[in-house]
Amino acid sequence: MTLIYLDGQWLGKDDAKVSVYDHGLLYGDGVFEGMRVYGGKTFRLAEHVDRLYDSAQAINMVVPMPREEMIAITTEGVKRAGLTEGYLRHVITRGVGDLGLDPRKCPRPSIIIIFDTIAIWAPERYEQGLTLVTAGTPINHREALSPRVKSLNYLNHILAKVEATNAGADDAIMLDPTGHIAEATGMNLFVWKHNVLSTPAVHAGLLKGVTRDAIIEIATEAGYQVRETLLNRYDLYTADEAFLTGTAAEVAPIRMVDGRIIGAGKIGPVTRDIRARFQELVKK
């Protein structure tokens, strides 16, 4: 069952409404977080809530609820919705104000939590692999709006996704202003080459994903050499394997990038192993 928590009320999908004067709608003034439910438990709930509150702090917005209460309400909502496998979306907006930019006109931020499910790609895509293209639209410059803030300003990622769609691809690789690989439109990226698992470093200007961190942990525990570094498209084109990670995507292999077949052109043994280890981790 789809369930919405909206400023203290539990509502159905058709009954949950926000004001047209909410600055989250008018100006993208807000932050969000995506979470995944496995076996009735929210995966790394505390870590996601911490990032949500850090994002709010970074844009000078005080969430009108203690972190412990946010965790408790999330857990309650999962039970109310009867979710055993699901997807959650937490949204904190600046709240209702006027048509001006001044955040002081918004007396109280609004809290929205959506309890639902998600499926980005069909199951067979996790065997066949994804087709990607490099987007002409870059990520935000990290000194303009830090990509580590998971804000409601996702238009550049959407435009990159449009580029992928227009090219007949599943998703797009986004570069930073220096031309280094940052991330996909909503996922982090890993490359396997010469027995080393590499991922773009956070200083490249990307979102530090919770799933990304989990993959680094389980890969290191499994004995893989993992490094966070600067990567360019050559590193991706010549990889033995490559995959995307994210809360919604989980671990998704890459088959082709910009017309280049990656490795064997399907899920590789390292990707398969890490995906299996991740699936075991989420069951704990």
Q: Can you name the residues that pair with 172 across neighbouring β-strands?
A: 133
Active site (catalytic) residues: 150
How far the first Cα of the chain sits from its last, in Å, is 24
Torsions phi, psi of 126, nearest 5? -80, -10
